[in-house]
Structure 1
Amino acid sequence: MTESKDFASFIDKLLSKNCPFALWAVPGSNIPEILISCNEELVYPAQFNKLNGQEGFIFAPYHIEENTPLVLLKPGIYKKGVEDIMGIGLGQIQNEEKYEEPGEHSFVISQPEYLTDIAETIAEIKRTKLAKVIVSRLIPFQRQQESLGEVFLQLHRQTPKAFVYLVNLPKAGLWMGATPEILLKSEGKTLETVSLAGTQSRRNDGDYMWHTKEIEEQAFVSRYLLDVFYKFNIHPYYTQGPETLESGKVAHLSTSFRFAAKKLAFNLGDFIAELHPTPAVCGYPKSKAAKFISQVEKHNRRYYTGYLGPWRLNGNVGLFVNLRCMEILPQQYVLYSGGGITARSVPEDEWEETNKKATTLLSAIEAVQNR
């Protein structure tokens, strides 16, 4: 992807129109893609399994609620590559009214409060059948006068192996992120999903040592994926991993699962509805973890740990779990960061893990602010 200030300027001008759009680059690609729509052409499916037969770009929340709907951008203006994107005539795109910003970002908790929440989570795990729970928090960071187009390009340069995106939607808001986690991706006649969990700081020498806590955490996710495969009669399937996946400033344990796309030819939406949210973003067992999260987290996750990406766009599926993401408000960035809590967790370590994960976005913002 070009480092051209012209492209950054184009993105900023598009943002000024406030029209619905999704701009993204898939892992390992320097070729950005964009889908631009208008408010009247957006679709809001009532349930995750209502995606069968649809196509476009999906922006899905953690839970579907009135203020966090599942959004589908239908194919409107679709372009691929910097040159073609910058050839879009901005004059033909109508300006949309500003939507009300959500007012739920006051639930930023202190380190002592977070450590208390984690200690209570560990105690709950030890006395119940919970095995793992994801507990997240909000990290605010002040905006200055920096170009959001430049922040997007900087984020892509720093995380070339991630799905890097910028999405602007009514009701959902303005979001940016760089997520390494595949929810479901097509490649020819094959579909791939990934079990991703466990985090440590990225090492320059590539010599990673994984502890029992991180290995167990990732194994929960793999076990859940296989349970879903069984429900949909998916076999045979092929696995690769566990192996280390580097993304931005951190590294994770990853196992990929591949199977024939024809297995889900008519019920792909149902499969996604069953898959989401995975234990990687919720916990295990999923229903018990989700109930506990609703009690321990003080904020609404909104689109954090939801999923997004092209959905049957030109016949391709490329959905990613919405990790390493932030909502962009007029005065500040609100970063979402969480960690997988097990009986072996140490509260202070979990606090540091959320900070490490936030550096993926913070380093890109600061690089642009300090120019």
Structure 2
Amino acid sequence: METINVARDTSQKLFLESFIARAFRDKLPFAIWKKPKLGLVEMILDKDPQTHTPDTLDLDELPEGFLIHPFQRSETNQPVYIKATLYERLILGENVPIAGREWDREEIADQANEAFIRSKIAALPAQKDSNSSKKAQFIATVSKAVACIEQGAFYKVVPARLKKKKLPPDFDLAGVFLALCEAYPNAFVNCYFSEGSGCWIGASPETLIRTKGDSFYTMALAGTQKARGDNPLKNAAWTQKEIEEQALVSRYIVNCFKKIRLREYQELGPKTTVAGGLLHLKSEFLVDMRATNFPQLGSVMLKLLHPTSAVCGMPKENALDFLASEETFDRTYFAGFVGPVNLDGETDLFVNLRCARLENNEALLFAGAGITEDSVPEKEWEETELKCTILGKFIQTRKSR
């Protein structure tokens, strides 16, 4: 994939800014994303400003659009669906074709769009109960989790933390998005807004499900360490704790297959993979839906998988009860799932990780840590710091003048 230089590709940044500014100006939901390993930026806008809560998660029944699903449904956290009533695409590294668009050259060339977008983000109301997590409190939660695992309450649990950072006065949403595309070509880079979900930006390494034609795909991703050296894949050395953590996530997927009596699937891995300066262990699962006579597999597995062992724990209900009692903030859409549905015959949904909610001149950064009986509380805190840094360093970077 051809890499991009944000400063050089001024036309692309201006086009993204005009798209985002139009949505904010008209109070319309929008989504912008780049799929892993592709140099294509896709964007949709829903010309209906009303927040749409989908009646179903049966993927085949949804129109073309973008699905935003919370970690846990509640009265305040509902799924949001952005319909693709306007659909645009950009090829990274190429000049933006302006002819034929719904807005004119003068609007695209408006340098005031960047400041306008900042003002709209600053005006977004702050999330309730969104204080930054304290280190001592998080370490105490991890210690309690390990004790619960030793007592047999669950095998694994994934407590999360929240870290708040002030946005710089020259925060550039379109520039940050393009910079993330360049830095993390293997991630699902995304930015979206609706009245129901708020404004988010992220670079997720984890596919929840993908369906295209007769093919179904999912992955088990767990274990985290910093990528080091010129060849980080060869330098990786995994501990027993990390290997077991990844095995639990793979086992969770296999158990979901067993629940629906699906025996014909291909499992690849585990293998080490690079995602945004971090290394993870990944196993991949592929199913031929035609050969297994299971055309609804995507919708069925979506309901079974979420929330996965990688963001919740095992057994699921016990882990959820622990998180509800220990976490002092609302995850809202962190650790939920997001992605395009039924666009060009393909659905790609990703776990909403390495993400931030933008509001009130602040970024709310979220990160979780997979806790097993071998977890060391101090190291788990350090892991969440690494995960927050992935996105935080882009959000807080001032532009060079």
Same fold by TM-score, threshold 0.5 exceeded? yes
Which of 21, 29, 34 matches 2:30?
A: 21
Which of 143, 152, 160 matches 1:136?
A: 160
Give the SS at the match of 1:81: strand
What CA distance in whole angstroms lies between the structure 2 residues aligned with 1:303 and 1:249?
24
What CA distance in whole angstroms lies between the structure 2 residues aligned with 1:355 and 1:114?
12
Aligned to 1:353: 383
8 A Cα contact 2:210 2:298, kept in partner: no
8 A Cα contact 1:195 1:221, kept in partner: yes
How far did 1:117 drift? 1.4
Q: Which amino acid aligns with 1:111?
A: K
How far did 1:290 drift? 0.8
Equivalent runs, 1:172-321 vs 2, <5 Å: 172-204=197-229, 205-206=231-232, 207-262=235-290, 263-266=293-296, 268-321=298-351
Q: Which amino acid aligns with 1:303?
A: Y
Aligned to 2:61: 53
How far did 1:359 drift? 1.6
Give the SS at the match of 2:125: coil
| Distance verdict in 2 for CA 1:131–1:300, change over 3 Å | same
Which of 355, 360, 365 matches 1:335?
A: 365
Q: Which amino acid aligns with 1:11?
A: L
Give the SS at the match of 2:61: coil
Equivalent runs, 1:93-132 vs 2, <5 Å: 101-132=125-156
What CA distance in whole angstroms lies between the structure 2 residues aligned with 1:305 and 1:22?
18
| Distance verdict in 2 for CA 1:254–1:86, change over 3 Å | farther
* Pairing 1:6–2:11 present: yes
What CA distance in whole angstroms lies between the structure 2 residues aligned with 1:346 and 1:283?
17
* Pairing 1:32–2:56 present: no
| Distance verdict in 2 for CA 1:191–1:368, change over 3 Å | farther
Fraction of identical pairs, as percent: 32
Task: State the structure with more CA Rg.
Answer: 2
Higher mean alpha-carbon deviation, 310-319 vs 34-43, is at 34-43
Aligned to 1:79: 88
What CA distance in whole angstroms lies between the structure 1 residues aligned with 2:336 and 2:90?
27
Q: Which amino acid aligns with 1:186?
A: T
Higher mean alpha-carbon deviation, 225-234 vs 36-45, is at 36-45
Q: Which amino acid aligns with 1:319?
A: L
Could you give the per-residue CA deviations for residues 179-236 of structure 1, whole angstroms, max 9, x where no partner exists? 1101111344311100001100012222101111011111111111011112223231
Note the residue ranges of structure 2 that are not aligned, 5 or more in a row.
108-115
What CA distance in whole angstroms lies between the structure 1 residues aligned with 2:129 and 2:48?
25
The number of equivalent residue pairs is 368
Give the SS at the match of 1:185: strand
Could you give the per-residue CA deviations for residues 137-191 of structure 1, whole angstroms, max 9, x where no partner exists? 1111111222111011111111110000011111100000001101111344311
TM-score by length of 1: 0.92
Give the SS at the match of 2:182: helix
8 A Cα contact 1:191 1:258, kept in partner: yes
How far did 1:88 drift? 3.5
What CA distance in whole angstroms lies between the structure 2 residues aligned with 1:244 and 1:30?
23
Q: RMSD value over aligned CA atoms? A: 2.4
How far did 1:129 drift? 3.2
What CA distance in whole angstroms lies between the structure 2 residues aligned with 1:297 and 1:86?
50
Give the SS at the match of 2:39: coil
What CA distance in whole angstroms lies between the structure 1 residues aligned with 2:99 and 2:150?
55
8 A Cα contact 2:214 2:295, kept in partner: no
Give the SS at the match of 2:283: strand
| Distance verdict in 2 for CA 1:127–1:287, change over 3 Å | same
Note the residue ranges of structure 1 that are not aligned, 5 or more in a row.
none
TM-score by length of 2: 0.85
